[in-house]
Amino acid sequence: MDNAIFRFAKPINEPVKSYAPGTAEKIALKQMLGQLSSEQWDIPLIIGGKEIRTGDTGKVVMPHNHKHVLATYHKAGPKEVQMAIDAAVKAQKEWSDLPWVERASVMMRIAELISTKYRYAVNASVMLGQSKNPMQAEIDAPCELIDFLRFSAFYAGQIYADQPYSDTGILNRMEYRALEGFVFTLTPFNFTSIASNLNLAPAMMGNTAVWKPSTTAIYSNYILMKIFHEAGLPDGVVNFIPGQGSVIGKVVTQSPDLAGFHFTGSTGTFNTLWRAIGENLGTYKSYPRIVGETGGKNFIFVHASAPAEDVATAIVRGAFEYQGQKCSAASRAYIPSCLWANVKERVGAMLQSIRMGDVTDFTNFVNAVIDEASFNNIMDYINYAKQSPDATVLFGGNGDKTEGYYIEPTVIVTTDPAFKTMSEEIFGPVITIYVYDESQYEETLALCDRTSPYGLTGSIFARDRYAIDKAFKLLRYSAGNFYINDKPTGAVIAQQPFGGSRASGTNDKAGGPLNLVRWTNPRTIKETYVSPTHYGYPFLGEK
């Protein structure tokens, strides 16, 4: 019997490869891109470790070249969803009874396989299927994905070691049980690392999952399932069921065994599923744990003391990396009038030099948005601004979906601080700027706080420390991740645990121990060494 008390050493973040000209990693990634581009896969459902093909299929295409089909995938119907639930429930007891170090070992093996054997396959799959340039793909999957796994094993050890105090004559313990049932995971297209973590964070704590991947990320997510299997993740711990969200959601939310819901996506979808769970509360064995990260309308707020060059760089990187399709992407900025001309000139110069196009051309900074629906939605916002007397499209504003779903990095300037593109999430390469009178700093901070229903990320640029402190206090609930003199994107696992509140989610901080605790069902255990033999207490004496 293994009775070691074991804890994993604190990891370091996975080093990010540069893919600079002439590097070995660039050569290897280019070769993998060529290999995957030449293949066309048939992607099944994976339920209880078995591949299932329903015959109801869809196509996976490259967003930057939508005539190029990467794969055909099979869709789950109600029968397959129930099969996945049954497989997860069946696997849960044995998986949760496994010593936690054994579960962690599987996670660490997955991380190592992705860091080494499958690094370029995972990276290339994200580039081709989700139209990320090599740097954006690298920091997502492999790097962030690996960090999630390694730090989850480390944090799990801390959680299990956290035990209550025992007084004289008794022994107190805390058992961190898995949830009773399965966890439904609904994952986004924009980060493959999040797709992995939404499944494997609950699994680290002994849970099993029914996974509905985003239709536009099925390609890279399927590679993950194959790696999970190779690493020894037991059959049924994660069940992969692509398909229509409304079909899958209806079966899942009516299951008595639903124990948790782990989500990243739109606020509207999250609200719909939370509402469905609420309507079925009498059905469940336990109240389901609901953990979700949703939308954002993230800001860059600039004080008059800020350097214009720093601000301009933050706007271009924060708003336009990965075509603005990050939950944390900068989509509104507040700039004092005394700095605006300088910032505008610098932003314009940077945008003039930016290239847009296919991900396989490493000179392109901007690539395609994810699909036609997204393209149309983003262009609707841009066209609204073009037609409004309260806004001007300063840079960009054009889109072309002939070959791929390309939209230019777009900067809108508005005179209305409550303008539609200042308050609504767009999820594309669009930022709206409101120029304010520098004498109205505090008033404009208050305006920033109340303009959007979201509270995900935001940043303040200033050299004046009093101004920073003022923003820090007045914007206290405006962002769950708050940045000082940096863009509001790029949270790193274990360094900046991620999440927001208000309409941005439950703020359970992915990438830290708080999220893992949500996937436990603690049981307090008290053992008395010598039990009392009479009911009486000293106060019952006659005198």
Catalytically active residues are 293, 327
CB neighbour list of residue 158: distance below 8 Å, 6 or more residues apart: 7, 513
Quick one: which of 22, 232, 14, 28 has its CA closest to 121?
28
Q: Which of 394, 385, 409, 381 is nearest to 318 (CA)?
A: 409
Within 185-244, residue ranges assigned H as helices are 192-204, 218-230
C-alpha span between 462 and 153 (Å, rounded) = 38
What is the distance between the alpha carbons of residues 170 and 163, in angstroms, rounded to a whole number?
14
**Residue 169: how many other CB atoms lie within 10 Å:** 10
What residues contact 225, with CB distance under 8 A and at least 6 apart? 46, 238, 240
Q: Regarding beta strands 182-186 and 65-74, do their DSSP bridges make them parallel or antiparallel, or are they unpaired?
A: unpaired
Using alpha carbons, list the distances in angstroms from residue 229 to 82, 209, 235. 21, 14, 8
Give the length of the chain: 543
CB 331 within 8 A of CB 320: no
Please give the helix or strand (H or E) that residue 244 lies within, else none: none
Backbone angles phi, psi at 497, to 5 degrees: -50, 140
Q: Please, are residues 396 and 409 in contact by the beta-carbon 8 Å criterion?
A: yes
Cβ(196)–Cβ(211) below 8 Å: no
Q: Which of 63, 89, 60, 62 is nearest to 75 (CA)?
A: 60
d(CA 185, CA 210): 6
Q: Are the beta carbons of 422 and 300 closer than 8 angstroms?
A: no
Name the burial class of residue 256, with classes exposed (0-12), middle (13-18) and buried (19+) by CB atoms within 10 angstroms of its CB: middle
Q: Transcribe 280-333 into DSSP letters.
A: TGGG-SSPPEEEEE----EEEEE-TTS-HHHHHHHHHHHHHGGGG-STT-EEEE
Sequence-ordered alpha helix ranges (H) in 164-211:
192-204
Name the burial class of residue 537, with classes exposed (0-12), middle (13-18) and buried (19+) by CB atoms within 10 angstroms of its CB: exposed
Q: How far is CA 271 from the centre of its chain?
A: 17
Contact 225, 241 (CB under 8 A): no
| SS3 (DSSP) at 405 | coil
